[in-house]
Amino acid sequence: MIRTFIAVELDPSFGEKIRQIQERFSDFDLKFVNPEIVHITLKFLGDIEESMVKPLEEALDSLMCEPFEARIEGLGVFPKPSNPKVLWLGATGNFETLHADVETLLKPFKFKGEDRAFTAHATLARVKTLSKDQKSAFADILNELKDTRLGSMQVNKVLLKKSTLTPYGPIYETLHTVYLD
């Protein structure tokens, strides 16, 4: 079994800005995502048999979404500011269409659906614990950075990725690349 997901990688030029944002939250008990591997997940597939990789590649090769420009901007948390569990960067562009296209192509595989609506975002950190006092300080920094703008990027490919979890963080490997045209 291999752990897999479908994603759009962020432009590598955003790495330093991501690092700077993460640095602002370094006083809190967070598990940061390495800036080099921050991405937008379109669909988490979970553990699959290796024999499913080829059929998934073939299905994804039928993506109809055209390339589009995306803006990476805005900082927020899930599920809500009073109880932050995930710190994320927002993404705007044609992600809803791309996500819907991926969902449609994967329907025959019967992957588990999401309980919540798709929101294009890139996870920067997972919140481990925050005391009451820290929640206020965390919210202040979040509010100060909420309108952060990293810039624009071209979304012209979608990746099927393998994730290997290690004590030092996940290691990602691209299994298949689909170029949008």
Catalytic residue among 39, 135, 146, 157: 39
CA–CA distances in Å: residue 9 to residues 84, 86, 161: 24, 18, 10
Catalytic residue among 121, 161, 162, 176: 121
Distance, CA of 66 to CA of 153 (rounded, Å) = 14
Decide if 176 is catalytic: no
CA–CA distances in Å: residue 47 to residues 34, 37, 39, 84, 173: 22, 20, 19, 27, 14
Residues in the chain: 181
* Number of C-beta neighbours around residue 145 at 10 A: 17
| Phi, psi (rounded to 5 degrees) for 43 | -160, 125
Q: Catalytic residues, which ones?
A: 39, 121
